[in-house]
Amino acid sequence: MLLKPTALAIALTSASLLLAGCEPALPVKDSTSSPQWFASGQQAANNAAPQANTSKAKNIILVVGDGMGITTHTAARIYSGQQQGLLGEEFSLSFETLPYSALIKTYNTDQQTPDSAGTMTALVTGHKTKAGILSVSDQAQRSDCASGQQHKLATLFDLAEQQGKTTGIVTTARLTHATPAALYAHSVERNWESDNKLSAAAKADNCRDIAQQLIDQNNSDQALEVVFGGGKRHFLPEQEGGKRQDQQNLLTSWQQQNPQQQVLTNLQQLQQADLTSGRWLGLFSSSHLPYIDQRDTSTPGLLDMTKAALTRLKHNNGKGYALMIEAGRIDHGHHAGSGYKALNETQELHQTVQWLLNNIDLKDTLLVVTADHSHTLTLAGYATRGNPMLGVVKGNDDQGRPKTSAKQLDDGGYYTSINYRNGPGAVDWQQGDRTSVDPERAQQADYLQQALVPLESETHGGEDVALYAAGPWAHLFGGTMEQHWVYHVMHHALTSDNAGSEDRD
């Protein structure tokens, strides 16, 4: 008997096509039966052991969904599938199709629930450290400039530059924000993005702000070829609309250092630039790049910047490249209590990784997709299959058939599938019963999901995050891993000369 393709079979087929560099056909709405689910399980078991690649990695791409916890994965998977006319649950995000995965523990050395500075430092230096500290060891004290002077940590990009590789950063956040900054800056305070935030003691100890460190670094042998994101205000003096108090225009200084160094400020310049050589600093917004639904035609998206960055990095004299891509505004959407924003930003990351899978060679490129930490997003409520991810919950009847009307609670009101443990959408319990969710309002872009604990900004979560990988030595990822181990797998992939070789660096 011939069986129709099932959801899992579709996902497996999509994965194999993506890894082969082909674009999979979109699946149709799921209508599987029990025998089909069983057959798809058999197929998954038969294809569950990909062959390990023990070649030395020529290229490495680290993709970070900032704040992209596992609940965000699940909700974005369903949401993205529903945008394509599917029920949603059967869909797979592009990075979820990668053959190797692991759970990653995210705590900082001083915090159970981490921040991005400490977590990104772990990912790119191989050292855990305190919250708020960028690529400086745990021996330093936060905001104490002198304590960090002798404890700077080498990064993944330092290794790549030593190997003669081209290096680049792409982010939808400010380039001086914690996640991208960990790759080029060493700071005991993540908030020292420009000199206006430096303490008097820090200035006395000759500590450099993060924007200044980027300019200094790019005037050295370890210069980045591509740096694309937001945060222009931290490179400009106050009289030019920036934040700097030292009267410096760092963009002018950077361009004057070398005629091969160019500054880009909008999408049109990015598209017209000859990216076959030179060093490129793209600052496309005063602060973070706008959310997807708020961008105008002059602002590039994550995929636009990734395509441009890879064009430059591939012109590398054959020695390879290292690229970090951050979907930084997933995190900000969650902090704002907006599931809509967080899921749309995650969907953009999914689309960017899908493009990567169609345009890189996993034979010599290690691709790692992970998050730095989680958030307090929850997905619950016994919604029926295919329930709109941003909508109110519709359940099933006693026979398991979907109901046509939304589920009402004992208080007579409705509720959504996704909510937050804390944040600006918190219910005011002092006013009595919970406010019912308006089914029409819940799916609007500016709606904030209900939360339990009232906070101005929703917080990070402390649970493990997921990691997905493919390419050389990706098979070393598995089980539950400490976050700083991720660096050591990437280091091993870049330095191992042959199968079974030991890390000699």
Active-site positions read: 116
Q: How many residues does the chain have?
A: 505
Which regions of 415-503 does DSSP assign to beta strands (E)?
418-423, 451-454, 460-461, 465-470, 480-482
- CA 180 vs CA 183, 405, 427: distances in Å: 6, 46, 35
Q: Are 33 and 343 in contact (CB under 8 A)?
A: no
Dist CA 442 CA 302 (whole Å): 27
Q: How are beta strands 365-370 and 465-470 bridged, if at all?
A: antiparallel
Q: Are 95 and 348 in contact (CB under 8 A)?
A: no
Q: Are 222 and 161 in contact (CB under 8 A)?
A: yes
Beta bridge partners of 480: 103
Positive or negative CA dihedral for 216, 278, 193, 189?
A: negative
Q: What is the SS3 string spanning 168-228?
A: EEEEEEECCCHHHHCCCCCECCCCCCCHHHCCHHHHHCCCCCHHHHHHHHCCCCCCCCEEE
Q: DSSP assignment, residue 436? A: P
Dist CA 254 CA 334 (whole Å): 34
First to last CA, the chain: 57
What is the four-CA torsion angle of 45, 49, 50, 56, rounded to 10 degrees? Answer: 160
Beta bridge partners of 379: 418
Both tokens assigned to 159:
């290794």
Both tokens assigned to 251:
């963009």
Both tokens assigned to 378:
């929850």
